[in-house]
Amino acid sequence: MTGDWIDVGALVEIPLRGARTIKAANGEEIAIFRTAGNRLYALVNRCPHKQGHLSQGIVHGDAVTCPLHNWRISLSTGEALGEDEGCVPTIPVRADAGRILISRIAMLATLAA
C-alpha cells in the first residue's frame, strides 16, 4: 500500500559503510546506514550512552562504533554490543528500485515515544 513507506532519497546518496540522516520536524534525527554487505538500517541518531550521533560513527560489519565513546551498536537490533548495555530504537527501512523507503508508521511511533 502506498503511503506506508516514505521515499527519503536515492540509495546512491549513502556510500557503502556510510550513513546519512533524516531530519524530523521535532528536532530528532534518524540515521540510515548502508553496510559493506549493502544492507540498509535505520536507527534513531542517538547513542543510548550519551546521545552521540551514531550516523557519524565508523560502520563495520553490521555494527557502528559511536564517535563519542566508542560504544558499538548493532545496526539490526539497536542493542549495545560487548560489555555495554543500552538500546536505541530501530525503524524498518528498505531499498526499492534504487530508492530508500522508510516505514512511516514506525517513524511516527518512534518519534512520538
Partner 1 sequence: MDFQGTGIGAENRDDAPDTVGTQRLVVIGNGMAGCRAVEEILARDPGRFRITIFGAEPHVNYNRIMLSPVLAGEKSFDEIVINDAAWYADNGIELVAGDPVAAIDRAARTVTANSGRTVGYDRLLIATGSDPFIIPVPGKDLPGVISFRDMKDVDAMLAAADRGGDAVVIGGGLLGLEAAHGLSLRGMKVTVLHLMPTLMERQLDEAAGWLLKTELERRGQTILTGADTAAIVGDGKVEGVALKDGSTIPASLVVMAVGIRPSTALARAAGLAVGRGIQVDDHMVTSDPAILAVGECVEHDGQVYGLVAPLWEMCRALADGLVAEPSGYRGSVTSTKLKVSGIDVFSAGDFSGGDGAEDIVLRDAARGIYKRVVLREDKVVGAVLYGDTADGSWYFDLLRKGDDVSSIRDLIIFGQAFAQGGGQADPKAAVAALSDDAEICGCNGVSKGKVVASIQAGACSLDAVRATCKASASCGSCTGLVENLLALALGDAVESGPKTICKCSSFTHDDVRREIVAQELRSIPEVMQKLHWTTPDGCSSCRPALNYYLLCAWPGAYVDDQQSRFVNERLHANIQKDGTYSVVPRMWGGLTNPRELRAIADVVEKYDAPMVKVTGGQRLDIFGIRKEDLPAVWADLNAAGMVSGHAYGKALRTVKTCVGSEWCRFGTQDSTGLGVKAEKMSWGSWMPHKFKIAVSGCPRNCAEATIKDFGVICVDSGYELHVGGNGGIKLRGTDLLCKVATEQQALDHIAAFIQLYREEAWYLERTAPWIERVGIDHVRRRIVEDAVGREALTARFLFSQSFSQDDPWAARAAGKDREQHAHLGEFRPLEILAAEGAR
Bridge partners (DSSP) listed for residue 101 = 7, 94
Q: Is 56 in the site for partner 1 (CB under 8 A)?
A: yes
Looking at the DSSP bridge assignments, the partners of residue 53 are none
Pick the binder of partner 1 from 80, 88, 93, 100 (CB under 8 A). 100
Collapse the DSSP code of 78 into the 3-class scheme (helix H, G, I; strand E, B; otherwise coil) and give the result.
coil
Task: Please classify residue 1 by burial: count the beta carbons closer than 10 Å to its beta carbon, then call 0-12 exposed, 13-18 middle and 19+ buried.
Answer: exposed
Cβ 68 vs Cβ 26: under 8 Å: no
Q: How far is the CB of 34 from partner 1 (least distance, A)?
A: 10
Q: Does residue number 108 form part of the binding site for partner 1 (CB under 8 A)? A: yes
Residues interacting with partner 1, by CB under 8 A? 6, 8-9, 12-18, 20-26, 29-30, 32, 35-39, 50-53, 56-62, 65, 67-68, 70, 72, 74, 76-77, 100, 104, 107-108, 111-112
